[in-house]
A and B are shown apart, each in its own frame.
Chain A
Amino acid sequence: MTKYGQAFLAGLQSNLVYRWNFAVRSLFWFFHLVVVFILWGAAYAGNPTIGGYTFKQTLTYFVVIFVLQFFVGAFNEDYQISEDIRNGLINQFLLKPINYFAYRLSVFTAARVVSGAFGVLALAVALPFFRGYLELPHDGWRIALGVPAMILTGVIQFSIAYCFGLMAFWFLEIQGFVILSMAVETLLGGQIVPLDLLPPAVFNVVRFLPFSYEAYFPTAILTGRMGFDMAVQGLAIQAFWAFVMVCLAEAVWRRGLRRHTAAGG
């Protein structure tokens, strides 16, 4: 087993220790879904469709986007990385033949396996309440394109969190930047409203930004809000952004190391 496989297993164990945190997060997710259900239910009263989509399709969109976050969303990786830097724990990685990005990606993958399991559990609890309101398309190509889109979403989310974590090389406190970015990512990622409900001119700009590939894009494929041609084109754009973000993460790491004084640890 490779060293990163070991990191994955260690990550799996350490994340299982925090299973209650994930359970609490699942509970919040359920409440958030209740808010979405009440708000959009009221918006749809008297309107059979909004933006060409039924209430069932919109609710399905929100359920899928929330579950997706459990599987591929970056939760507190930025904070963990910044703590490694602040506490000097990062020094041990500089002395060993370990790529810090690959190590952190292994731990992130392990964390998502655990949180994904809790996401499924939360879904199982929510399903009796929402089953009658869910409507998923059955086209096979949606799974074939949706799965790689989810993986690339994970890479983009992780790389962005990684870059923010590395800002600890420059700043003592990064939490403000993280929450600032979270607001932008949440909105432009389609977690507040489906992006296709934005005015067309705005949507045509937003769909080329990396944020829409952090949540909206795979969800739109899986829930039938996007056709085949647009999904293939989107997958190419997403792969481009994933590549850019990984390169950016490497560049920030190299620049950051130049400032690192290796105190503590």
Chain B
Amino acid sequence: MGTLSRYLRIWIASAKYSLVRATMFRGDLFIWASVELLWISVNVIMVTVIYSHTNTVAGWSMYEMLLLVGTSMLIQRFLMGFFWSGIFEMGRNVRTGHFDFVLAQPGDPLFMASTRKLELDGLLNSVVAAGLVIYSARKLGLHPGAADIALYAAMVACGVVIHYSALVMAMSLAFWITSAQGVEGSYFTLMEFSRLPREAFKRGIATVVFVWALPVVVVSNAPARALLHGFEPLWALGLCAATLAWFALAVFVFRSGLKRYTSASS
């Protein structure tokens, strides 16, 4: 318990610093918040245009699809708000030797590296993504109870952990190959799959890779389905298992990489 509260205090201190920094560069915050808002809008417009020509996509109606897109965006915005900058800088810091600074801090290196910075623009847009989910749910006539909302929130949290783990693993490559450039692009490309309904995947290699091997489809579909259809044990258990497996793998890869770290020019 003492350890937990110590880490909470460290995180609050980092969050306070990030918030002060964000308010110092208000123009920058406005631009980046607009960027994310615009990209959410682009996805909503795409769905709207497709559904102006058809009633269903893989058995999903327009508002069900918007709920899925909103959920996918919510997970992505939480990842970007809470962890993106810290994890992204990790690769560069390993290459330059500035990772020493993280190792000298009073806490677990993975925690210290990945929670150093809070991005306010990502968090502001998570409100927009949540708004899209609520709007879609209302249009669908859904009236989720407290337990349904708690289940949805827990599944979104699982999704964030899976995305976090995937990003940590990708960035940990910097311990071996010194440069993990291009990871940003690969992350956003894979995120595109999370806006597709599971039912759109027919048999084939794409299903094996993007549904079973990489949980990019499951992370968004499982919470969206929980709101739409209530608790489905298979989806919930699958998501929990994937979360534990991916997080354990990420910690293992990070710690293995850390053993290779030899400070500057490693």
Contact = CB atoms under 8 A, between A and B. Distances in A.
Interface of A: 21, 24-25, 28, 31-32, 34-35, 38-47, 50-51, 173, 176-177, 179-180, 183-184, 186-187, 192-193, 197-199
A180 B31 contact: yes
A96 B238 CA distance: 64
A47 B57 contact: no
B35 A192 contact: no
B189 A183 contact: no
A43 B28 CA distance: 38
Contacts of B46: 192-193
B134 interface: no
B182 interface: yes
A32 B49 contact: no
B192 to A, nearest CB: 4
Interface in B4-50: 28, 31-32, 34-35, 38-39, 41-42, 45-46, 49-50
Interface in B140-189: 181-182, 185-186, 189
A42 B61 CA distance: 12
B3 interface: no
Given A25-B185, A31-B189, 12 more contacts: A24-B185, A24-B186, A28-B186, A28-B189, A31-B192, A45-B58, A51-B53, A173-B28, A176-B35, A183-B42, A186-B42, A193-B50
Contacts of A179: 35
B217 to A, nearest CB: 10
Given A42-B57, A43-B57, A187 B45 contact: yes
Interface of B: 28, 31-32, 34-35, 38-39, 41-42, 45-46, 49-50, 52-54, 56-58, 181-182, 185-186, 189-190, 192-193, 196-197, 199-201, 206
Given A28-B186, A38-B200, A39-B196, A197 B53 contact: yes
Nearest to A199: B52
Q: Which 9 A-B pairs have the closest CB atoms?
A: A176-B31, A42-B200, A42-B58, A183-B38, A50-B53, A35-B192, A28-B189, A193-B49, A42-B57
B54 A43 contact: yes
Contacts of A198: 49
Chain A interface helix/strand/loop/mixed:
helix
A141 B56 CA distance: 37
29 contacts: A25-B185, A31-B190, A32-B189, A32-B192, A35-B192, A38-B196, A38-B206, A39-B50, A40-B50, A41-B200, A43-B50, A43-B53, A43-B57, A46-B54, A47-B54, A50-B53, A51-B53, A173-B28, A176-B28, A176-B31, A176-B32, A180-B38, A183-B35, A183-B38, A186-B42, A187-B42, A193-B45, A197-B49, A197-B53
Given A28-B185, A176-B35, A34 B206 contact: yes
A39 B57 CA distance: 8
Contacts of B54: 43-44, 46-47, 50
B166 to A, nearest CB: 15
A32 B186 CA distance: 10
Contacts of B199: 42
A264 B44 CA distance: 45
Contacts of B50: 39-40, 43, 193, 197
Contacts of B42: 183, 186-187, 192
A177 B52 contact: no
A179 B104 CA distance: 35
B32 A35 contact: no
Contacts of B197: 42
Contact of B201 (A31, A38, A193): A38
Contacts of B45: 187, 192-193
A79 to B, nearest CB: 14
B35 A24 contact: no
A148 B96 CA distance: 46
A51 B50 CA distance: 10
Nearest to B38: A183
A177 B28 CA distance: 10
A146 B140 CA distance: 45
B52 A180 contact: no
Nearest to A45: B58
A187 B43 CA distance: 9
